[in-house]
Every structure is written in C-alpha cells, then in structure tokens.
Amino acid sequence: MKKEINLNMPSSSEGMSRIDGRLKVTGAAKYSAEYTVEGLTYGVLVGSTITKGTITAIDTKAAERAPGVIAVITHVNAIKVPGFQSEAGKPSAVRAQLKVFDDNKIVYNGQPVAVVIANTYERALYGASLVKTQYSKEQHETSLNASIGKGFPPHGDGLYKRGIQDAWKSAPYKVEQEYIVPTDTHNPMELHAIIAKWEADDKVTVWDKTQGVKATQHDIAQLFNIPVDNVQVNSKFVGGAFGSALRTWPHEVVALIAAKMVKRPVKLVLSRADMFTSVGHRPYTWQKIGIGATADGKLTGITHEAYGQTSTFENFTEGPVGVSQGLYACPNVNTKYNLVALNIGTPTWMRGPGEATGAFALESALDELSYLLKIDPIELRLRNYAETDPESGKPFSSKFLNEAYQMGADHIGWAERKPEPGTLKKDGLLVGYGIGCGMFGAYRSGATIKAKMTADGILLLQTAVSDIGPGTGTAMVLIAAEQMGIPAGNIRFENGASDLPQAPTQGGSATTASVGSAVHYACIELKEKFQKLTGNDSPKAIDYAQVLKQHNLPLLEVTTKSTAGDDRDKYAMNSWSVHFVKVLVNAATGVVKIDKVASVADSGHIISPKTARSQVVGGAIGGIGMALMEEAVMDHRYGRYINNNFADYHVAVNADIPQIDAQFVNKPDPYINPMGAKGMAEIALIGMAAAVANAVYNATGKRVRELPITPDKVMA
C-alpha cells in the first residue's frame, strides 16, 4: 500500500548535529572497556603460533606464579560451555563456530589457546608472555589461489541462470577478465572489548562491543544454557565496527568462561594484532567475468564466477555474484559462487558485503567493454538501465539512478574527460575520470519503541538498537520531532541495552527504515492518546506538558511495534549509488592521488542531511582505502599475517582524502516505510573501488584488476 509521506521536517533538521556529538568529542561517552566494575580483573589472550595441528603440551606454571596473576585458563582446565556440547545423535546447540578451549585442535594462526587473568592489565600481559605451548604441526592451507580446485558451493550447486548460459561468448563485442579483491580487515578505532560479570550461576551482565545487543543476549543465553532474561548486554557507544561486531566471537566466550571460573568480573580487550585474526575480515575473493554486447552497447550476456575464503570450521557466504544478477537489464545471466575452506579465522560481513566485492569486478568489466565499444561509460550504463527488477520482474519501489548519473557527472566535471586514455594532463600529472555504480537491498525489519512524554515536556524514546556511529539517535529524534511537532531539543533517545524494547542488529543499512518506522508509529499512537485526553481530534499542535498537568498525570507512554511490511512481496526494493572519481597519476612513480570524488546516493528521503553526508563521505573514504591501499598480507609459509598493525596495514588518512562531494537524489520511496527513507551505509562504498580503478585506466591506459592499486602495479 502506498504510504502518505510528510516531508515538512523541522527547519533545524537541515543543520542538526549529532545528539551524542558533544559526549563523544569531550570524552564523556563511555565505551565498553571504560566501565568501572567492582572487583574487576583483566584478561589477555595467548594465541597459537602454528596454523594447523594439535597442542601436545602447555606449560602455565611460570605464568601462574607471576605477580598478580589469578588464573591461567586453557583447554585443559576450562569449564565446558553447554552450547558447545553435543548430545548423542544431535549436533551442539549453537551453529558451527570455533569451540574455544573445547579441545586441543588448532585450525588457524592466532587462535586463542589460553587466557591469563590478573589484577592489572600489565600483569596479565606479562603473564601471557610466560605461557609456553608445544604443538604437533600439520600441513596448513591458507592460499585461496593454491586451493581453488577444492572449492565447493555453500548451498545447493551454487549456480544461478537466467536465459542462455554463457551467452556473452557469442556476442560481437565481449570482454572476459579475472579480478581479485584481497583480504581487508575492519580495523575500527575502538578495539573489540568485553567486560563480563556473573551475578549468579545463571545470570550475567556484560558490557560489550556489539552491533546487536539482542543478538548477543540470545547467543550468550544459548551458549551457557541460561534464561534469556538473565543476560543483560550493554553497548551504549560503539567506536566503529563496519561489520566486525555483527556476531559473537571467541574472545567474548573466553571472557564469560574466565569470569565464571574466577568468580570476579573480567575485562578482555583485543590487541590490534588480534583484530586481524579474531573478528573476521572481508574475504579474499577471485572472480572471473565474461560480458558481451551488441555494437550499440546492449548487453547480451553476463557470466560471473567467484571463489571466496571461508574457515575450515564454518562457512561464511556473502554472494559477490548477486550484483551481476540485478544491476543491469540483461536477458542472459549465469553465475557461480564457491567457497574455499582455509586455515584462517572465519571471515565476516564488511561494509558493502558481497556487493562491494562483486561490483569491483562487474563495474571494471563494464568499463573495459565501454572502451571496446567506444561508448561513453555513462551512456553504456543508460543503454542497459533496468526499469524493472531483472531477477523477479517486479517493479522497483523507487529508482532514480538515471538522475544520479547526471548529478554526479555535473559535479565531477565529466565533460572534461578524454575518451582516449593517457591524453589528459595537468601540471605534469596524468588525469583520469572513472565511474562505478552500486546497489544494495533496501531492507526493513520489525522493531519496537517505547515513547514517554513527561509533564516537563520531554519525550523519551527507548529501544535496544546499537549505534555504531552513523547517527541513528539523531535520525530518530528528527523523525519524532516531525511527528510530534516539538523541538528536537526536547527529545531524548535511549538505546544500546538488551532490557530495552526489541530492535534489530545494526547492519545491512536497515536501521533507519526499521527503527524509524517504529518511532513514527509510536509518535502517532502517543498523539492519539493525548487527543483522547483533550477530546480534540484536530491536527493542531498540542501542548503536551500542559495537558498532562491539567489531568494531573506525570506522563503518558506507549509501546509500539512496527513490522517489516508486506510491500516487499509486490516491489523490488533497493538503494542505488553512483561514484565519480578524478585521479592524478605520476607517470614516473605510479603514485595515484585522488583529486576529487562525487558520490550520489539514491536512498529515498534524507531524514538527517548532516549525518547522511557523513555516511557517504565515510563510505567513499572506505572505498578509497579498498582501492588503493588496504590488504592484509599473509606469509603462506607460516599462515601468519605480516602487516597486522596500523604501521603496515595502510588505511586512508587525511592526506589521502580529496574533496568529496556528497549528493542525494532525495526523493522518497512511497512503499518501504512511512518516512520514505532507504539505507545508504553500504551503497556509500559499493562501486567506489571500481570507480578508482576505472579512473586510473583513463589516466594511464593501465588496467589494474587486482586490488589494491599500488604504484608497482601501475608501473608494471
């Protein structure tokens, strides 16, 4: 059903800053490792120094005798986690995952083999250095390229087919190439951390870095076989995650085991090196694309094959081939997706998961085709513009990507681009322009909001959702201000605790659409309560505080649940983006400098323009890092990352960031939710790496198909 959308936002929304901004910049915001708990102890992990094999002996005596050490816990003496145990004929209660401290098997380098608990962090760190482990080594496999023949489909046969298989091969114009996205790690500023405190044998409180307090609550309850209501998870502030905090990891289980055993609260903070092995990564992925077209640029077929990393103990899937199935109108598409099990920690979702990886290959291949056809890359995309969803045939709930093309081209100065590579120069540097597009499902799930209006005129909104930094609270306040007709300064937003009303995990660019819908409907329900009190059904403004005082009421409250809605059955719902990049390349050194970025998001109605711009800028920066510098390098002889630190794992810093022009189509989607808003976190990055690679080719004539685009590859 088409929703009525009110776009008369309060004027303050145009420049409203984050509601938690002052807390963050003054240091008043408390993150998970910063809470003071009586009797707190400190844990430090000891990681495996081999990549595959078994522990034959582990000497903890020196560590146990060290000053301040309270306990050293290994597989030898650890309590058994109920959720890890299997009953006869039945699998364990939890999904396949690393059963930490459950046995002596080693399946990846850096796997926790012990934790040292002490009365200070420094003493725990020293104690950890004294633990000595002996191993029986086995031959490990960490190279996807070397093991690609062992690939297997994650589900069924891993194949998708629409129309004629491999139709691209019979096209008059065709491109077939291979593309590689390396292992990228999340590396947020805040390290992963947890404080675990058992209140009783079956009751626990944790302060944890998590993108979903409800999901973590259920995981802990299942792992330790205790009532869900006896698990309290707190995650008020999260200092970045990008997907790394979307699940419960081994270090969290270790802290819970340790706190239960020493009968004191335990704080465990990962080291920066641990962040490379213990909380997932964007998986190394090899892709091959074949793409064919007629002379006038109409696509006749796409074949997209991909092999991605997973661990040996669980399958992680992200589906990089999906973008080729739905981004363009093409009658014949077939894809294949396989996993390769390696001795690594399990990968996980990283911003723009699957689509970011797949879009690098697809958008690079399409750019290569544009040069073969001698058709402008924008024009080629417009000639293959999908007016309806190519997979389902459903109409789109909204799509204005064609307008985004024009906006971005105008802002980047696309008219200055030269179709012949290497022909445009400025101040002795080669100049190039590139384009890359992105798509991501526009999702909405159920959420619940408790809204309380008190007699002092303050509206309190409560929900369990985490906020990893996109400005969720700010958007919720603006939605409520619009509906209630009160200043945003009179609204408070409380979140990040599992005893608050149900909310989804923050991920998949769905938070505003999901929680925002609950806020919208809660405010309508609350207004109706006030109207019943006053007997006034007119839409005129209500003095809520005055009404409460007149009726001698301290507050009015509602608890409202919003569901996902049924319009997804009728419409294909996606967010869209287009990224334009201008690069300057030093022909003598191969150094690439990003001169300008123009990113345009087609993500429905923009609720909070200021924080939305930050989302797009942040995604662009992540895409620049993905394109030019990020790569976790493994020495396959030892199965160990050799650049597991901020000195050697390069991320984009201030000197790498150009002028970023963030633009929005800003047209509401009439079906997805009452605000008309769609997600933008993922599309802010998806397609950016290809835009950079395509710009480098336009500047130099050098096509780099393996990320990152380092000077040696430009010069090769």
pLDDT tens, residue by residue, 478-496: 999 999 999 999 999 999 9
Lowest mean pLDDT among 263-267, 323-327, 445-449, 536-540: 536-540
Q: Please say if the pLDDT value at position 260 is more than 70.
A: yes
Query: Mean pLDDT throughout 307-313?
Result: 98
Q: Alpha helix (H) ranges present in 141-249?
A: 144-147, 213-224
Single pTM value for the model = 0.96
- Residue 113's pLDDT band, with cuts at 50, 70 and 90, is very high
Q: Please say if the pLDDT value at position 60 is more than 50.
A: yes
492 strand-pairing partners: 460
Residue 95 CA to chain centroid, in angstroms? 21
Q: Report in angstroms the alpha-carbon separations of 158 from 153, 315, 334, 518.
A: 5, 13, 11, 37
CATH tag, 445-564: 3.30.365.10
Q: Which CATH number fits domain 38-50+52-138+187-276: 3.30.365.10, 2.60.120.10, 3.30.1360.30, 3.40.50.720?
A: 3.30.365.10
CATH topology of domain 285-443+570-715: Aldehyde Oxidoreductase; domain 4 (3.30.365)
pLDDT at 415: 98
Query: Mean pLDDT throughout 69-97?
Result: 85
pLDDT at 466: 95
CB 205 within 8 A of CB 302: no
In the three-class reduction of DSSP (H, G, I as helix; E, B as strand; rest coil), residue 542 is classed as coil
Query: Mean pLDDT throughout 270-290?
Result: 97
Q: Please say if the pLDDT value at position 9 is more than 50.
A: no
Query: Mean pLDDT throughout 174-184?
Result: 98
Residue % of the chain over a pLDDT of 70? 97
- Residue 21's pLDDT band, with cuts at 50, 70 and 90, is very high
Residue 397 CA to chain centroid, in angstroms? 24
Query: Mean pLDDT throughout 25-46?
Result: 97
What confidence tens digit (pLDDT) does each residue in 411-435 have?
A: 999 999 999 999 999 999 999 999 9
**Amino acid, res. 468:** I
pLDDT at 541: 81
In angstroms, the CA 253 to CA 94 distance is 13
Residues recognised as catalytic? 682
Q: Report in angstroms the alpha-carbon separations of 466 from 193, 215, 225, 352, 570.
A: 15, 11, 24, 19, 30
Whole-number average pLDDT of the chain: 95
Q: Please say if the pLDDT value at position 15 is more than 80.
A: no
- Residue 93's pLDDT band, with cuts at 50, 70 and 90, is low
pLDDT at 590: 98
pLDDT at 90: 64
Q: Please say if the pLDDT value at position 5 is more than 90.
A: no
DSSP of 469-538, one letter per residue? SS-HHHHHHHHHHHHHTS-GGGEEEE-SBTTSPP---S-TT-HHHHHHHHHHHHHHHHHHHHHHHHT--S
Q: Please say if the pLDDT value at position 333 is more than 60.
A: yes
Lowest mean pLDDT among 12-21, 189-198, 308-317, 527-536: 12-21
Annotated domain spans of the chain: 38-50+52-138+187-276, 285-443+570-715, 445-564
pLDDT at 88: 60
135 strand-pairing partners: 55
Query: Mean pLDDT throughout 599-610?
Result: 97
What confidence tens digit (pLDDT) does each residue in 657-707 have?
A: 998 999 999 999 999 999 999 999 999 999 999 999 999 999 999 999 999
Q: Please say if the pLDDT value at position 441 is more than 50.
A: yes
With 0-12 / 13-18 / 19 or more C-beta atoms within 10 angstroms meaning exposed / middle / buried, residue 568 is: middle
pLDDT at 565: 82
pLDDT at 536: 76
**Amino acid, res. 221:** A
Query: Mean pLDDT throughout 95-106?
Result: 92
pLDDT at 8: 41
- Residue 92's pLDDT band, with cuts at 50, 70 and 90, is low
Asked if domains 38-50+52-138+187-276 and 285-443+570-715 share a fold, the reply is yes
Q: Which residue has the tokens 């334009």?
A: 580
Instruction: Return the closest-CA partner of residue 665 out of 568, 572, 576, 571.
Output: 576
CB 692 within 8 A of CB 622: no
